[in-house]
Amino acid sequence: MSIIGIIRIALKSLTRNKTRTFLTMLGIIIGVAAVITMLAIGEGAKKVVDDQISSMGTNVIMVTSNFTNTQNTARQAAGSGNTLEEEDVDAIRNSVDGVLFTSPVYNTFGQLKYGNSNWRGRVMGVDVDYFQIRDLSMESGDTFYASDVESGTKVCVIGKTVADNLFAGIDPVGKVIRIRNIPFTVRGVLRSKGASASGMDQDDIVLAPFTTTSTRLMGHRWRFLTIFVSAESKERIPLVQEDILNLLQNRHRGTTADDFSVSSQTDIAEAASTVSDTMTILLASIAGISLLVGGIGIMNIMLVSVTERIKEIGIRMAVGAGKRDVLLQFIIEAVTISIFGGLIGILLGVTAAELLGKYMEWSINITAWSVFLSVGFSMLIGIFFGWYPARKAANLNLIDALRYE
């Protein structure tokens, strides 16, 4: 019997038993679609986190004051909650190897005003290096320069959220806004960065020279200094981190060793990737369960029809079909079901993922491996349970196959 002939028989048998064919296919479709959708969501979430972390900047190391320790009454009485000083910035810049950029960062909130528009936003006093450290680029206009920092010019650059809220439809460049009633000229608008890993809007921001903000906006008592450092390379990060820690501990001798902490982008990335890995594993388990359920569905429907199929094989062999013919027929049937089920499953899974991405505004990332995994697994199950009764029947005594109950 020719292969073509057997394929024809197999296809006929599939169309003849539409319900069985459909139910078997359904198992595969559900399994494949569920896995693809679930993993697309998981991978999408992971990608968002990855993007957010790389949006932090290049090889960023942060030195932060530990505010909790400043509850020490003696220090508070001394009038400062801050444990880091601007001299620390210079010390890091000058004596730690592998440091490319350093910038002090002062954070405050303030009322922003332009004409009749009001906005309460975050104002950061930074050095020019900050643009490099955070990989900031300009949407329009210009940054400020070292000379501005030196002379404490009242200039600033603003994020997109601030621009949108203060300047509806007007080009902000060159305009004067009031921060806590002090006029600042807008030099430029930052290119949008979206939300940070912690969900903060990175575009809701005003950057100004730290010299200006220190003298004009912030009282000495409330200046909390954070130091941003950019290491030469990713590999250097741990070393630089270590050196900064040692340096600052030396400089701060006499205070408790942990009145500041040094953390890096890598640390944050690791923490975040643990979270997103957990999520992927969770989604993958759900998908795995879907596959299993789909697989059991396939198994069920195929095992239920085993009696009938074994009888069918008996009949075919009694009228002169060879073992090879019936085995091939059954395998072709199973492969056909698996391929079509797999294709429909992929289509459905991708569509579902895209729809979720579009209407739920989830980020979706369909990976090739999820497609291969789900289709491979479903096909394996489908083909096994198509082949299993066939093999069983073909090895039975013909009469036993005919009388099989």
Partner 1 sequence: MAAKTLISVRGLTKTYQMGEVQVHALRGIDLDIREGEFIAIMGASGSGKTTFMNLLGCLDHPSSGSYSLDGVDVHSMDDAELTRVRNQKIGYVFQSFYLLPRTTALENVELPLLYSKKVLPKDRHAMALNALGAVGLDERAKHFPNQLSGGQQQRVAIARAIVNDPVFLLADEPTGNLDTRTSVEVMGFFQKFHAQGKTVVLVTHEFDISQYTERIITFRDGRIISDVANPNPRNAAEDLKKLPRLDDEPLEAS
304 binds partner 1 (CB under 8 A): no
Name the one residue in this structure whose structure tokens are 């020019």: 128
Nearer of residues 301 and 364 to partner 1, judged by Cβ: 301
Q: What string marks each residue from 200 to 239 as x (binds partner 1 by CB under 8 A) or -?
A: ----------------------------------------
With contacts defined by CB under 8 A, name the span among 159-167, 240-248, 355-363, 397-405 that binds partner 1: 397-405
Which residue from 169, 199, 254, 320 is in contact with partner 1, where contact means CB under 8 A? 320
331 binds partner 1 (CB under 8 A): no
Contact 144, 130 (CB under 8 A): no
5 binds partner 1 (CB under 8 A): yes
- Provide the token pair at 228: 């941003």
Nearest-angstrom CA–CA distance, 95 and 92: 6
160 binds partner 1 (CB under 8 A): no
> In whole angstroms, how close is the CB of 1 to partner 1 at the nearest point?
6
Nearest-angstrom CA–CA distance, 152 and 154: 6
Contact 311, 402 (CB under 8 A): yes
Which residue from 316, 330, 332, 383 is in contact with partner 1, where contact means CB under 8 A? 316
3-state helix, strand, coil in the chain (%, to 5): 60, 20, 25
> In whole angstroms, how close is the CB of 378 to partner 1 at the nearest point?
26
Which residue from 319, 361, 368, 405 is in contact with partner 1, where contact means CB under 8 A? 319
Name the one residue in this structure whose structure tokens are 């596959």: 291
Contact 349, 32 (CB under 8 A): yes
Q: What 3-state DSSP class applies to 364?
A: coil
Contact 159, 203 (CB under 8 A): yes
Residue 138 backbone dihedrals phi, psi, to 5 degrees = -95, 135
Which residue from 126, 317, 352, 353 is in contact with partner 1, where contact means CB under 8 A? 317
323 binds partner 1 (CB under 8 A): yes
Contact 314, 347 (CB under 8 A): no
| CB half-sphere exposure, 132, CA atoms < 13 A | 14
7-46 binders of partner 1 (CB under 8 A): 9, 12, 16-17
Q: What string marks each residue from 103 to 142 as x (binds partner 1 by CB under 8 A) or -?
A: ----------------------------------------
Residues in the interface with partner 1 (CB under 8 A) total: 24
Nearest-angstrom CA–CA distance, 119 and 108: 14
> In whole angstroms, how close is the CB of 401 to partner 1 at the nearest point?
10
Q: How many helices and strands, by DSSP H and E, does the chain display? A: 14, 10
Nearer of residues 203 and 325 to partner 1, judged by Cβ: 325
63 binds partner 1 (CB under 8 A): no
Return residues touching partner 1 (CB under 8 A).
Answer: 1, 5, 9, 12, 16-17, 308, 311-312, 314-323, 325, 397-399, 402
